Amino acid sequence: MSESSPYKTYPTGPVTDKEPVLVRDLPQDRIISALVTLAGELYMVRDRVKVLEAELEKNDILPPDAVETHEDTPDQAAARTADAQAFADRFWLQLTMSDEPVSYVDPAIKTYLND
Amino acid sequence: MPDTHSNRPPTFDAKQSRDYTAFQEFIRCSYVAVNSKANEEAYRAYFKERDSHYAGEPETRESAARIMDTLPEYQLKAWGIRNLRRLKYSQPDVGIDTMVHGQRDALEKELDALIADAGDELQLNLDIKMPDYFEWVDFHQQPGGVWRDDVDGLIYDYGRRTTNPNQSDPNKVYHLMWEHLPEGKDYTRVLDWGTGHGGGIIAWMQDHPESEGYGVDIAAPCVKLAHVRAREAGVPVKFSQQDIMAMDYEDDSFDMVFHMFMLHEFPQQVTPDLFKEVRRILKPGGVFIGMELALVPDQPAQHVIQFSDAWLNNEPYMPACVDADYAGMGKAAGFSKSVAIPAEMNKYALGPASKDTPPKTTWNFYVMEK
């Protein structure tokens, strides 16, 4: 975990400094499998939205192409932009995040630990 | 989210967006997966590696750690223990901490109004000095801990809903514990020791309305929230903010004191004095009962997982706790009877049953009588 630890992942004390790097040996094939699985799940949601649109049109609840031709009001457009940015920020934060822990353990705690 | 204390919806609640509830549900399910499927995969991979490459060698915690450390299954579980909690609390917009703090001013005003007429049901000591061992740790990775901000109690209450091993009934664990209370005793005056969100004493009072219920905790945000939840549930409880190392209750004043996984929040150095203080406030024949995590005997791999979870989840006193002889400490503190009763995890459907997949955790019930 740290330079002084004989381990890569297994912790031998509290996290008092930087966020630990924990996954070092996960084969990339499995990461790709997880991403492909997520893509499949996303397609299932996409498919259901399309079916829902078609049913709404068929039952005269929405006019044809209502979603495609929808125009936001200025307020809606601003909210949508903000939502898109927040969504993108949450994703990219995981790749660019600081390694400073957001929860804290004071190194002074070692007073109580049997090192 | 479902109410955790009664059949009534909570009246004190933050506004939760659809995105927030969807994200938290995903995190909750992911946490369950890490603690079940990923956990079992880590054990399977460990046993396979041990049997194929280390057969015949003595199995110790150190040897188990060396094997486990290299397994991607374990590394993934370790990632989940650390990072799912981080995401749960701190993800922008949809983390619990960020959601609640976004409404902080309104929630604080509402909380102040709800406790304004608490009377003797809520005793605060806002000048209390936090012990350093408590102040130094953001337990369970809740940013800032449970005591710095008025809304911390609410955050803790939301947070526990993704921690409990039985999502359908977060109070099930209390009832499992009370099954081990000695029979034939009178449990009229009852204290919830480290009450937190108040869920334990509220559940007790709902089952035993004839009792006098008390709850003590050092964190003001927690006792404030506990008071509100008790009012919502319609049960009278007297909550008090105190350091449980030196409580203001009189000698011989309680029939029963209970706690839920409290012992691992204290360093071993203070535990003997804590037990003496509990004994002081118990009536002769009174019972101190609680649950705590423990190690599975002769399962070094389980010890490795237990310690790993503890360090990564900001539970720095747990590694010593799960090895501690609390029953012996109870006797040393003067309790006439003090026993540890291992929980039958599989009976309660709380852990896997295969011989090659030991329970992800195990618990002991500690029952001490004055």
Give the ipTM.
0.70
Residue B326 belongs to domain with CATH number = 3.40.50.150
Range of the domain at B156: 1-370
In a mutational test of the B interface, the residue from A7, A17, A22, A95 whose CB has the highest number of chain B CBs within 10 Å is A22
Q: Which residues of A touch B136 (CB under 8 A)?
A: 105-106, 108-109
Helix axes B72-90, B18-33, angle to 10 degrees: 160
Q: Which of B238, B288, B280, B285 is nearest to B262 (CA)?
A: B288
**What is the per-residue pLDDT across B294-342, written as a single tens digit (0 to 9) for each?**
888 888 998 999 999 999 999 999 999 998 999 999 999 999 999 999 8
pLDDT for B358 equals 55
Q: Which residues of A touch B41 (CB under 8 A)?
A: none
Taking the C-alpha atoms of residue B292 and residue B167, their distance in angstroms, rounded to an integer, is 19
Does the residue A8 lie in any domain?
no
Taking the C-alpha atoms of residue A88 and residue A82, their distance in angstroms, rounded to an integer, is 10
| B69, B143, B314 ranked by CB distance to A10: nearest | B69
**What is the per-residue pLDDT across B148-199, written as a single tens digit (0 to 9) for each?**
999 999 999 998 876 654 445 677 889 989 999 999 999 999 999 999 999 9
Q: Which residues pair with B190 in a beta bridge?
A: B213, B256
Going by pLDDT thresholds of 50, 70 and 90, the confidence category of residue B367 is very high
Does the residue A17 lie in any domain?
no
Does the residue A15 lie in any domain?
no
pLDDT for B164 equals 52
Range of the domain at A78: 28-112
Mean pLDDT taken over chain B: 89
DSSP letter at B128 equals P
Q: Which residue has the tokens 């920020």?
A: A89
Taking the C-alpha atoms of residue A20 and residue B50, their distance in angstroms, rounded to an integer, is 26
With CB atoms and an 8 Å threshold, state whether A14 touches B314.
yes
pLDDT for B94 equals 87
pLDDT for B5 equals 40
CA B259 to chain centre: 9
pLDDT for B10 equals 65
Does the residue A41 lie in any domain?
yes
Lowest mean pLDDT among B32-41, B127-136, B241-250: B32-41
More confident site: B327 or A77? B327
Q: How many domains does chain A have?
A: 1
Non-local CB neighbours of B343 within 8 Å, separated by 6+ positions: B176, B291, B350, B362, B363, B364, B365
Is residue A17 less than 8 Å (CB to CB) from chain B?
no
With CB atoms and an 8 Å threshold, state whether A25 touches B66.
no
Does the residue A91 lie in any domain?
yes
Does the residue A12 lie in any domain?
no
Going by pLDDT thresholds of 50, 70 and 90, the confidence category of residue B351 is very low
**What is the per-residue pLDDT across B105-144, written as a single tens digit (0 to 9) for each?**
999 999 999 999 999 999 999 899 999 999 999 999 999 9
DSSP letter at B312 equals H
pLDDT for B357 equals 58
Q: Which residues pair with B344 in a beta bridge?
A: none
With CB atoms and an 8 Å threshold, state whether A89 touches B92.
yes
Q: Note whether B220 and B241 are within 8 A (CB).
A: yes
pTM metric for this prediction: 0.85
Does the residue A2 lie in any domain?
no
With CB atoms and an 8 Å threshold, state whether B317 touches A14.
no
Q: Which residues of B touch A109 (CB under 8 A)?
A: 133, 136-137, 316
Backbone angles phi, psi at B192, to 5 degrees: -90, 110
Does the residue A82 lie in any domain?
yes
Is residue A100 less than 8 Å (CB to CB) from chain B?
no
